[in-house]
């Protein structure tokens, strides 16, 4: 190619030379890559916080139910009231078990902290307080499934 004497366009045969347009594209790609990286980190943190929030709500509910149960006198006429509280406790622990079984709560440390709680409530409520005829048609499949998985 012929060059004009006053031309500002430079033609180079050197493949390592980067034009200004290419350098802008490289910088933009770096910025997009960094933005994607921080988006992924933010998403992971948000997911973990959501899991902690779910677990916290369930634990608050269980604590409130424990307090309610402690306020009920131990007389035999209050067995119906106790049965209602036990049922609500089982529903709450079953919900927690569902969250763990369906991988909505996957944080290993969080699940490890929940395991003894699930075992305690299962053994206290199901094995000690549910009559035999109700155990045959146990409506708490998620609780049963998680309990068996923990005991393996």
Residue 151 has a pLDDT of 86
Instruction: Please report the pLDDT score of residue 126 as a whole number.
Output: 79
Q: Report the pLDDT value the prediction gives residue 84, as an integer from 0 to 100.
A: 87
146 and 97 Cβ atoms separated by less than 8 Å: yes
- Grouped pLDDT means (10 residues each) for the chain, 152 residues: 55 64 89 95 91 91 92 79 86 91 89 90 78 60 88 84
What's the rounded Cα separation, in Å, for the pair 7 and 21? 19
User: Which pLDDT value is given to residue 81?
Assistant: 84
Query: How deeply is 99 buried, as exposed, middle or buried, from its count of CB atoms within 10 A (0-12, 13-18, 19+)?
Result: buried
- What is the per-residue pLDDT for 27? 92
Q: In this structure, are residues 58 and 95 in contact, taking their beta carbons and an 8 Å threshold?
A: yes
Helical spans, DSSP H, in the chain: 20-71, 79-101, 108-121, 128-129, 132-136, 141-151
| Predicted pLDDT of residue 78 | 73
Nearest residue to 102 via CA among 40, 45, 51, 56: 51
First-to-final CA distance of the chain:
78
Residue pair 89/117 in contact (Cβ under 8 Å)? The answer is no
User: Residues 6 or more apart from 130 whose CB is under 8 A from it?
Assistant: 138
At residue 135, the pLDDT reads: 53
pTM of the entire structure? 0.70
């Amino acid at each position: 190619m012929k060059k004009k004497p006053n031309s500002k366009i430079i033609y180079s045969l050197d493949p390592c030379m980067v034009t200004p347009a290419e350098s802008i594209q490289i910088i933009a790609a770096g910025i997009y890559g960094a933005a994607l990286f921080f988006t992924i980190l933010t998403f992971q943190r948000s997911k973990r916080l959501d899991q902690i929030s779910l677990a916290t709500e369930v634990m608050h509910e269980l604590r409130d139910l424990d307090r309610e149960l402690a306020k009920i006198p131990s007389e035999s006429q209050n067995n119906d009231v106790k049965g209602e509280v036990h049922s609500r406790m089982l529903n709450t622990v079953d919900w927690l078990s569902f969250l763990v079984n369906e991988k909505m709560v996957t944080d290993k440390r969080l699940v490890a902290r929940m395991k003894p709680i699930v075992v305690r409530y299962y053994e206290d409520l199901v094995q000690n307080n549910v009559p035999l005829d109700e155990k045959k048609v146990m409506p708490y499949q998620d609780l049963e499934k998680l309990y068996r998985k923990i005991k393996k």
